[in-house]
Amino acid sequence: MMDFLEEPIPGVGTYDDFNTIDWVREKSRDRDRHREITNKSKESTWALIHSVSDAFSGWLLMLLIGLLSGSLAGLIDISAHWMTDLKEGICTGGLWFNHEHCCWNSEHVTFEDRDKCPEWNSWSQLIISTDEGAFAYIVNYFMYVLWALLFAFLAVSLVKVFAPYACGSGIPEIKTILSGFIIRGYLGKWTLIIKTITLVLAVSSGLSLGKEGPLVHVACCCGNILCHCFNKYRKNEAKRREVLSAAAAAGVSVAFGAPIGGVLFSLEEVSYYFPLKTLWRSFFAALVAAFTLRSINPFGNSRLVLFYVEFHTPWHLFELVPFILLGIFGGLWGALFIRTNIAWCRKRKTTQLGKYPVVEVLVVTAITAILAFPNEYTRMSTSELISELFNDCGLLDSSKLCDYENRFNTSKGGELPDRPAGVGVYSAMWQLALTLILKIIITIFTFGMKIPSGLFIPSMAVGAIAGRLLGVGMEQLAYYHHDWAIFNSWCSQGADCITPGLYAMVGAAACLGGVTRMTVSLVVIMFELTGGLEYIVPLMAAAMTSKWVADALGREGIYDAHIRLNGYPFLEAKEEFAHKTLAMDVMKPRRNDPLLTVLTQDSMTVEDVESIISETTYSGFPVVVSRESQRLVGFVLRRDLIISIENARKKQDGVVSTSVIYFTEHSPPMPPYTPPTLKLRNILDLSPFTVTDLTPMEIVVDIFRKLGLRQCLVTHNGRLLGIITKKDVLKHIAQMANQDPDSILFN
Amino acid sequence: MMDFLEEPIPGVGTYDDFNTIDWVREKSRDRDRHREITNKSKESTWALIHSVSDAFSGWLLMLLIGLLSGSLAGLIDISAHWMTDLKEGICTGGLWFNHEHCCWNSEHVTFEDRDKCPEWNSWSQLIISTDEGAFAYIVNYFMYVLWALLFAFLAVSLVKVFAPYACGSGIPEIKTILSGFIIRGYLGKWTLIIKTITLVLAVSSGLSLGKEGPLVHVACCCGNILCHCFNKYRKNEAKRREVLSAAAAAGVSVAFGAPIGGVLFSLEEVSYYFPLKTLWRSFFAALVAAFTLRSINPFGNSRLVLFYVEFHTPWHLFELVPFILLGIFGGLWGALFIRTNIAWCRKRKTTQLGKYPVVEVLVVTAITAILAFPNEYTRMSTSELISELFNDCGLLDSSKLCDYENRFNTSKGGELPDRPAGVGVYSAMWQLALTLILKIIITIFTFGMKIPSGLFIPSMAVGAIAGRLLGVGMEQLAYYHHDWAIFNSWCSQGADCITPGLYAMVGAAACLGGVTRMTVSLVVIMFELTGGLEYIVPLMAAAMTSKWVADALGREGIYDAHIRLNGYPFLEAKEEFAHKTLAMDVMKPRRNDPLLTVLTQDSMTVEDVESIISETTYSGFPVVVSRESQRLVGFVLRRDLIISIENARKKQDGVVSTSVIYFTEHSPPMPPYTPPTLKLRNILDLSPFTVTDLTPMEIVVDIFRKLGLRQCLVTHNGRLLGIITKKDVLKHIAQMANQDPDSILFN
């Protein structure tokens, strides 16, 4: 990279699909670009304006990402809400109204029956003009299943035909891309369009999946597409990954209405290279996205999510016991889910099952819809369910979950003490228990199908149900046994001791933590959902317990497990490499292998090099002073070599197969009448990374992670001995963990 | 480090004072330790228990740090509150009550005059039995100044005599320590004790300083001292720095009642090496500290800070204009403050002034106290002032700032519309303007004196005053000119359009941002102080503007400026190195210098090595195969070499000056009758980092930062050519920035 006088050859410095980028080279290229603009800016006003606009383009890009992903999130929310209600009926007052909206605008409605208004017609009312009786029930049931199947069919077909990358949650792939891997089209415009449409369809079909994970993918697509408008980001893979990290933060921000939590999620869970400048920009993008969504106001409550709550009731130290129990439950569920889901996905990959994605989706949808309709808690959308479970029963709540005895009998103005459960609560408990079992089982089969499917909402629902069940149980225990030693110090009769909604929230955090192994970002997201600093302690206790329990049963979170299942070359930054191997144990060539293929700096002909290229598949070759000394000069990439030789043969006069290639500053002395030589110093990396053969692998792994290397050369006492690529490192890590090293697919 | 059979020699692997640690070596040592414990844990139950307790010791340590720093913060708050009031009078109802407490317990007090009760006696009441008249005023004035001088004298004397490291805010030094520098005693028990006591004295003396920065230092002292209870952390400098990062988060958490903000502050501003595990632990420590402080409840309002507020009034988009103006003011103030303060501190260092710290402190205290007493806004403690400025005027507020006309005339139940300012407000405005000028000037001279002094509170006060002035101005403008085009769309007559308290808050954020250049952590801290997500946008707009304006006038924040002033070897992780120099331009030896001093692997005698040691001051030497080939084998540290030779001479029979030292695996063949050889392979670092001479310095700087290196060897075509130390890198950066390279004092 020393010869700046020569014209760059097009193609040199770009990457093939399914390859790993070289972070050091990319960052260095960006610094060159920046330096050039800064130097030029002193020359003319126009160049100065260019320099300023270049500096601000990052912020502009963040603004655009925030606006676009916020708008898309609002659109998705509104459409999914409307289509979910379409499964039950239609609004004759206006076809575009959902159930809630429809009855808001109605005049014929009382507060108690705010869900029933003449404008809203269930399918049985439309078809057989009645809503009563067994036949009407069957008509509604049938229509519900039919719509669900239709939505699911549309979703899976669209994904299959137009954008196969639009399926799943996308977070494992985004993690891999951010770590420096190239998957062309994964964040393209078709993926964006199809994923947005099919996400709405998938959520509306009533399957046990959420929109939160896919929203991160959608936001990253927005980021990637918008990058094309700015030279600075279009051409540089490292800079683009900074933008994608910020876009991921914006995605979580709109998914949970939690801008700070979104930034921390991006930092903790998704990102690989996260400089502080990105932190600040991510925060900006996340905020813009949140405010865009809020101005769209998809839920009509000026909140960003359906399940926002504001608690004010305090909790008692003793309640940490049930909270920790919920943490244990969350950890167990997380570990169980990951194991069974991975086993099922592996089965899908390896058997005939994987060949019929449409059939699979339709079968799962049919089972889900058939089992879901009879139970009101499975029939409603999962985020509505979570919202109801999080909710603390107020005076005017008409839901079954709030059907306590003496419900209108408040002792002190407005405050609701603990009360005995009424019939409604008991029946709700049974229905919730059935919902819990259904969700646990069906989610295992749903996540990983060929439709967009997020995992946050189903996990939270499982935890929220378990939490609410435990919470109501605790409440009844405290009511009937307030004289027990554990209660009598803090819970007198008629006091409001237990908040079942808080238990639901803690349970949701625990289950989400068990599945994803998030920690700080999880607590901050839940904190932003409640807005009360005092609930951080219960949330943290549950999240910590859940992570410990889940980690004890299996080290990986669901995203890492899927990354490994798919064999993506992802070098985990969190795990310490704990084995005592050395660089010489990992490098190629192994003992007894033929020697490392090298180029010499000034004695090989074009023919020699071309035959080495055709005989090997290595993606790069070290250049040495001479084969005898094995003293390293630099490293040259296969792709650059091929392009340069081709280019030289085409354009440079007289370069033939017997021409000598040299990588030195000056041409070597040649005998007269030999063909012209070919200088390739400009494609030679003169600062390849080297380690000694006795370097512990833990240090090598650290270097690969922190500097984002693609390969590293190994020397012994100054002589070149071998090479370690990122793939070698990943294979070695897999081998040390007793996994199949050949599961690492790409390089 | 290959020979594990040999007994380690005591002292090998430790560091001298004012030296830089080798992160790679420290982390590698911790991994060895961890591996050993894990391997042993399979052998016996006792070892298993040891392994588990080792794993949990980190969490236990965090708990202890949280408890200790929370308690100390509570103690400091309570004592400072009491001693601040002592300057004005004393409670005869109980000497240990402060003014507020004293009158709480009184029966003779009405709500309006809640500050005046018979139990509280001003000094004039105690001495001349009256509170009226000019003489009483003079007595009170005199006593106020006297107490202030006494407190300041005690503070500076204690610091001078017992713990010179206890002065200042401590954050620049903590940043340096966390980046891998060793300053023995800076975080020791004497510093802790003296800093805690003198902090209370300094705050109570009424000087323009805050306790927030020093609290971070106090928390880090707690962390460092508690590390001594755990083997894992006592012996490993890298692990200990993880703990200190968490302790810094706990310090900010109690300083501002903002646990999440504290963690982000530690991440953004203070820390150097911040693995994700530390993020989670920091969060835990910060929470424990916050809850400990809350259970102590130093302000009697179950809030963690005096200036917590809960706003609910919305803001209008047009108000972004004044908010951005406040941002510009904050940026200007920040840049001005840093320049003048650094200039003054440099004067203190270079002239006679630095020799009389006690006189300096007394003079500044006297000036502050004399100017402060007549103005009620300077007389009250700065955090009380901030609290009053942040506050939105309620119906029952009796402060002068809320003395609007028609103050009890509310149009709609309870809500207070904008009103014309009364006499009280106008006189408050004048007093505040004077306060602003005084604070701006006096803070420049206060920060950097030999007493504990934080900068957060004075900066916030400056911003809050400016903000409140602008806010009241805007409010009056909107009231009298609500028909102007800019107002009439959103501010009708009698509506509550402008919240001056919000302006104060935005101004505080802007000024704090201008001085410290914090971004995300600043916004999150302010968010946690208000609890409303909707105020993030104004805060962010102000913080961003302020950072841009301040950065345009000078790149460094106050802490970085002080680091540079003191010449600490701190390698800034945020700044990109933008120059196009190469490793060969920086390495030693320079062109024309004598060759690099090296050891050979098997041909030098003890005498040779000792003469090299005595002739040079290098802290380490490369070991090569032979002087002719210059092929690198490894690197050996001076300190290890001295200790090992000394040890060998003492213990190993027959090692004399003519003994050959060898670093190879096996002893070189020796002629008969030569003295026994000395094997030193165990102190040889067999994996030294190398770069080529053509590596761009931007990459070298990146490697130093990310891997935390102390030195790096430079090769050319496989031959050793030179060495680059961290000091060389820092000097080169200083040189490229046109600063004096010799200002880097330590290595």
Q: Copy the structure tokens of residue A440.
A: 């646990």
pLDDT at position A412 over 60: no
Distance CA A695, CA A585 (A): 10
Q: Chains A, B: CB contacts under 8 A, how many?
A: 145
- Could A24 and B699 be called an inter-chain contact, meaning their C-beta atoms sit closer than 8 Å? yes
Question: What does the pLDDT average to over B376-400?
Answer: 83
Segment B606-610 long-range contacts (CB within 8 Å, at least 24 positions apart): B606/B645, B606/B648, B606/B649, B606/B655, B606/B656, B606/B657, B606/B658, B606/B659, B606/B660, B606/B661, B606/B678, B607/B657, B607/B658, B609/B641, B609/B645, B609/B661, B610/B645, B610/B657
pLDDT at position B409 over 60: no
Tokens 């962010």 appear where? B540
Distance CA B717, CA A631 (A): 5
**In Å, how far are B569, B579, B585, B711 from B734, measured between CA atoms?**
11, 12, 14, 18
pLDDT at position A13 over 80: no
- pLDDT tens digits, residue range B505-526? 999 999 999 999 988 889 888 8
Question: What does the pLDDT average to over B655-679?
Answer: 85
- Under the banding of pLDDT at 50, 70 and 90, the label for residue A113 is low
Higher pLDDT, B406 or B208: B208
For chain A, the farthest-separated pair of C-alpha atoms sits apart, in whole angstroms, at 109
Tell me how close the Cα of A692 comes to any Cα of chain B, in angstroms: 5
**In Å, how far are A220, A253, A327, A362, A433 from A512, measured between CA atoms?**
22, 17, 10, 27, 19
pLDDT at position B737 over 70: yes
- Report chain A's mean pLDDT, rounded to a whole number: 87
How much is the pLDDT for B596? Answer: 87
Chain B positions touching A540 (Cβ under 8 A) are 283-284, 287
How much is the pLDDT for B671? Answer: 81
Range name among B176-185, B402-411, B503-512 with the lowest pLDDT average? B402-411
Type of residue found at B374? P
Percent of chain A with pLDDT over 90: 44
Distance CA A640, CA A632 (A): 19
Chain A positions touching B34 (Cβ under 8 A) are 578
Instruction: Tally Cβ neighbours within 10 Å of residue A26.
Output: 21
Locate the chain A residue with the closest alpha carbon to B630.
A718
pLDDT at position A746 over 60: no
Helix axes A45-86, A23-40, angle to 10 degrees: 130
- Under the banding of pLDDT at 50, 70 and 90, the label for residue A26 is confident
- Could B537 and A291 be called an inter-chain contact, meaning their C-beta atoms sit closer than 8 Å? yes
pLDDT at position B491 over 90: no
- Could A28 and B717 be called an inter-chain contact, meaning their C-beta atoms sit closer than 8 Å? no
C-alpha angle with apex A242: A241 to A245, nearest 5 degrees?
A: 85
CA-based nearest residue to A718, from B587, B600, B603, B625: B625
Is-cis flag, bond preceding B164, omega within 30? no
Distance CA A152, CA A369 (A): 11
- Could A695 and B686 be called an inter-chain contact, meaning their C-beta atoms sit closer than 8 Å? yes
Percent of chain A with pLDDT over 70: 94
Helix axes B520-530, B237-256, angle to 10 degrees: 40
Question: What does the pLDDT average to over B562-587?
Answer: 86
Range name among A523-527, B486-490, B559-563 with the lowest pLDDT average? B486-490
- Under the banding of pLDDT at 50, 70 and 90, the label for residue A747 is very low
Instruction: Tally Cβ neighbours within 10 Å of residue A586.
Output: 21
Q: Are A514 and A552 in contact (CB under 8 A)?
A: no
Tell me how close the Cα of A590 comes to any Cα of chain B, in angstroms: 20
Locate the chain B residue with the closest alpha carbon to A626.
B717
Tally the residues of chain B.
747
Question: What does the pLDDT average to over A697-713?
Answer: 90
- Residue B485 CB partners (closer than 8 Å, separation 6+): none
Question: What does the pLDDT average to over B351-357?
Answer: 88
Chain A positions touching B630 (Cβ under 8 A) are 718
- Could B283 and A520 be called an inter-chain contact, meaning their C-beta atoms sit closer than 8 Å? yes
Tell me how close the Cα of B212 comes to any Cα of chain A, in angstroms: 21
Q: Copy the structure tokens of residue B113.
A: 């005059």
Q: Copy the structure tokens of residue B510.
A: 């802007």
CA-based nearest residue to B442, from B536, B487, B350, B378: B378
Instruction: Tally Cβ neighbours within 10 Å of residue A593.
Output: 9
pLDDT at position B108 over 80: no
How much is the pLDDT for A5? Answer: 40
Distance CA A215, CA A195 (A): 9
How much is the pLDDT for B3? Answer: 40
Chain A positions touching B280 (Cβ under 8 A) are 519-520
Range name among A507-516, B233-242, B243-252, B730-739 with the lowest pLDDT average? B730-739
Torsions phi, psi for B721 (to 5 deg): -120, -35
DSSP character at residue A391 = P
- Could A703 and B698 be called an inter-chain contact, meaning their C-beta atoms sit closer than 8 Å? no
pLDDT at position A177 over 90: yes
Q: Copy the structure tokens of residue B717.
A: 């075509």
Q: Copy the structure tokens of residue B45.
A: 């139950």
- Identify which of B31, B263, B687 has the shortest CB distance to residue A694: B687
**Which residue intervals of A42-98 are DSSP H helices?**
45-86
Tokens 């990354």 appear where? A563
Choose, out of B269, B312, B546, B631, the residue to mutate when testing the contact with A (most A CBs < 10 Å).
Answer: B631
Distance CA A569, CA A242 (A): 19
- Could B687 and A703 be called an inter-chain contact, meaning their C-beta atoms sit closer than 8 Å? no
- Residue B30 CB partners (closer than 8 Å, separation 6+): B232, B236, B238, B239
DSSP character at residue B588 = B
Range name among A12-26, A719-733, B87-101, B106-120 with the lowest pLDDT average? B106-120
Q: Copy the structure tokens of residue A739.
A: 């996994």
What is the three-class DSSP state of B636?
strand
Tell me how close the Cα of B623 comes to any Cα of chain A, in angstroms: 10
- Identify which of A38, A544, A687 has the shortest CB distance to residue B699: A687
Question: What does the pLDDT average to over A200-210?
Answer: 93
| pTM exceeds 0.80 | yes
Distance CA A560, CA B374 (A): 65
Instruction: Tally Cβ neighbours within 10 Å of residue A581.
Output: 15
- Identify which of A259, A629, A699 has the shortest CB distance to residue B687: A699
pLDDT at position A676 over 90: no
CA-based nearest residue to A558, from A518, A505, A526: A518
Choose, out of A717, A720, A721, the residue to mutate when testing the contact with B (most B CBs < 10 Å).
Answer: A717
Question: What does the pLDDT average to over A71-92?
Answer: 91
pLDDT at position B358 over 90: yes
- Under the banding of pLDDT at 50, 70 and 90, the label for residue B408 is low
- Under the banding of pLDDT at 50, 70 and 90, the label for residue B313 is confident
CA-based nearest residue to A476, from A397, A404, A399, A377: A404
Distance CA B554, CA B699 (A): 25
pLDDT at position B106 over 80: no
What is the three-class DSSP state of A557?
coil
- Could A259 and B629 be called an inter-chain contact, meaning their C-beta atoms sit closer than 8 Å? no
Question: What does the pLDDT average to over B532-543?
Answer: 83
Higher pLDDT, A580 or A62: A62
